[in-house]
Amino acid sequence: MNPLVSVLIPVYQVEAYLPRCLDSLLAQTYRPLEVLMVDDGSTDQSVAAAQPYLQQAAVPMSLELSPHQGVSHSRQRLVERAQGEYCFFLDSDDYLDPQTIEVLVRTAQQKGADYGPV
């Protein structure tokens, strides 16, 4: 059985980049995934850019809204909410090759990396 991977994304002022980031996650060859985001008080349209993905995603996806407290606070909230055996931090202005998570999980399993609930 494949372990759940929690993809953790802090969001702040990235309306122009977030769709590409989320598209790259939905194109991943690995399942199961969960995608967790915390918006750190964005004043642009980052939340609006995430909405279509939240409603139509093929994987569990959530967005928590927070007043601006900085990326460290967002990351801490994401870790607290993660349910996966593995966590993968992804910046909201980045994107992944479709096999990124599959390769990382396979490598972790081959090398006997520890995993477990966060």
Ordered by start, the domain boundaries in the chain are 5-110
pLDDT tens figures, 90-114? 999 999 999 999 999 999 999 988 7
Cα dihedral 109→111→117→118 (10° resolution): -130
pLDDT tens figures, 55-89? 998 999 999 999 999 999 999 999 999 999 999 99
pLDDT tens figures, 18-54? 999 999 999 999 999 999 999 999 999 999 999 999 9
Topology (CATH) of 5-110? Spore Coat Polysaccharide Biosynthesis Protein SpsA; Chain A (3.90.550)
Cβ-in-10-Å burial (0-12, 13-18, 19+) of 21 comes to buried
